[in-house]
A and B are shown apart, each in its own frame.
Chain A
Amino acid sequence: MNFFARLYYWSRKAWKAVALYLVIAGPGLVVMVADNDAGGITTYAATGAKYGYHLIWFLLLLVPVAYYVQEMTVRLGAVTKRGHAEAIFDGFGAFWGWFSLLDLLIVDWLTLVTEFVGMTAALAIFGMPPWVTVIAVIALMMIIVLNGRYWTFEKLALLFCALNLVYIPGAFLVHPSMQAVLHEGLIPNFAGGFNGQLFFFLMANIGTTIAPWMLFFQQSAVVDKGMQEKDIPWGRFDTFLGSVVTVVVAIFIVIVTGTVLPGIDIDSAAQASQQLMTTNRWVGTLLAIGLFDAGLLGAICISLASSWAFGEIFGWAHSLNTKIREAPWFYATYLAMLATAGAIVLIPKAPLVLITLFVQVVAVTLLPAALVFLILLLNDEATMGDRRNTPVQNLIGGGIVVSIIVLSTLYGITVLFPGYFQ
C-alpha cells in the first residue's frame, strides 16, 4: 500500500511539473525548432547526401552551442523586460543599435526568401503553382498572428514544431545501418579533408542552428510572454529541450539522405524529396511535408523577430496581444517582410537554391558581432545583478565567437584562393 501511495504521489508531482512546463514552454522550443527552417532542412539534406553520416558528431556539438547562446537571451529578457534590439540601443547607443538593426533586417529578409523557396518547392512537388503557395502562405501567416493573443500564436507554433518530427519515422523507413551511423557518425572526422566545400558545409550547419534572428526572437518572445526572473529555470529547460530536438531532427534528416542518396550532390531538400519518392514514396512525401512545415514556422518567427525589433526601437505597439488597429505598424512590418520576400521567389530563373545555402553562410558570418554584444550585455552587473554571466559562461561564449570567426576566415580564404587547402 505504501508503495502505491508513493507511486501516486510521485506521479502527481511529475504530472504537475509537466503541466507547469506546458504553460511555460514556448520561446525556447519554438525558436530552436523554427531554426530547422527550409534552409536548415536543405542544408542537412545536402550534408547527408554529400558526407553521409560523417558529420553527425559535428551536429551533436551544436547542442551545447545553441543552448549556451540562446540561454543568455532568456536571462536578459526575463531580467530587463526588454527586447534584444532595445537592449542594444540602450546599452551601446544609437550607432551600434542601427548597425545591429540593419544586420537583422538584411539577414532576416534574406532568410525569409529561403523560407519561401522551401515552401514553394515543397508544394510544387504536389502540383501547387508557386504564386498560389505564396498568396496562401501569406494569408495563413496573417491569420495566425492576427488573433490578438501571444498564447494562441505560441500553441499553434508548437503544433508546427511537432510536425517537424516527421523526419524521425522517415529515417526509420529507410532502414539505415545503426552500426554505420554509430561508427561513422560519432567518431570526429573530416571526410574528404579540409577544403572550401567542407568549411562551407560546416558554416552552413552552424548557420542553421544558431542565427542572429534567434537572439532577437527569443528575447522579445520572453518579454511578450511576460516571463519573470523566477521562470528562468523553466526557460533554461525549454531552451535545452529545444536544442536537443533541433539537433535530433537534423541528425535524422542527415541519416535519411545519407542512407538513400549517399555521394549525390543535392541542390535542395525539394530535389531530395523527389529523388526519395522514386525509392520510397512515403519518405519523399514526409520530407516534402516537413520542408513546407519548416518553411512556414521559420517564416512566422523570422518576420516576428523583425517586427518586434522595429516596434521596440520606433516605439510602436509591438505585442501579439494587441489587435491590428492598436499596433498597425507592427503588423504592417510583418506583412511587408512576408510580401517582399515572397515576391522574390516568383522571379523567373532566380538561383533560389544557391541563395538558400549562401544565406546560411552570410548569417553565420555576421553572428559573432551579435554574440559579442550579447555577452557584453550579460556582463553588465548594474542590470543583470546575480544573473550576469559567470566566467565559465563567458569562456564558452567567447570560444563560440572565436570558432565562428576562424571558420568564416578559412572559408573566406578558399573563396579568394580556391586551391589553397588542396
Chain B
Amino acid sequence: MNKVHALLTKIGQINARYRTPRIAMSGAVRGSLLVLRLYLIGLVLLMVYGFVRIVTRG
C-alpha cells in the first residue's frame, strides 16, 4: 500500500514539474495534435479488430 502511495506521490510530483509546457502551442496546434492522436488510436483499434477477426476465423 505504501509503495502504491509512493508511486502516486511521485507521479503527482512529475505532473507538477512538467505542468507548464516550455514550447508554447496555440489552441489550434494542441487541437490538431489531439485529433491526430485520437485518429491514430482509432486506426490501431481497427487493426486490433482485424487481428481478432483473423484469429477467431482460425
Contact = CB atoms under 8 A, between A and B. Distances in A.
Interface of A: 89-94, 96-97, 99, 313-315, 351, 354, 358, 361-362, 365-366, 368-369, 372, 376-377, 380, 382-383, 405, 408-409, 411-412, 415-416
B20 A93 contact: yes
Given A90-B18, A94-B14, A369-B40, 7 more contacts: A93-B19, A94-B18, A382-B22, A411-B47, A412-B47, A415-B49, A415-B50
Q: What 4 A-B pairs are tightest by C-beta distance, nearest first? A: A93-B21, A415-B50, A94-B18, A89-B18
Interface residues of B, number: 25
B43 A92 contact: no
A362 B47 contact: yes
Contacts, number: 70
Contact of B14 (A314, A351, A354, A369): A314
A97 B25 CA distance: 15
A358 B45 CA distance: 12
SS class of chain B's interface: helix, strand, loop or mixed? helix
Given A91-B21, A368-B40, A415-B49, A96 B14 contact: no
B25 A351 contact: no
Contacts of A362: 44, 47
A313 B47 contact: no
A97 B19 CA distance: 10
A354 B17 CA distance: 41
A370 B55 CA distance: 29
B14 A366 contact: no
A92 B21 contact: yes
B43 A365 contact: yes
Interface in B34-54: 36-37, 39-40, 43-44, 46-47, 49-51, 54
Contacts of A96: 21, 33
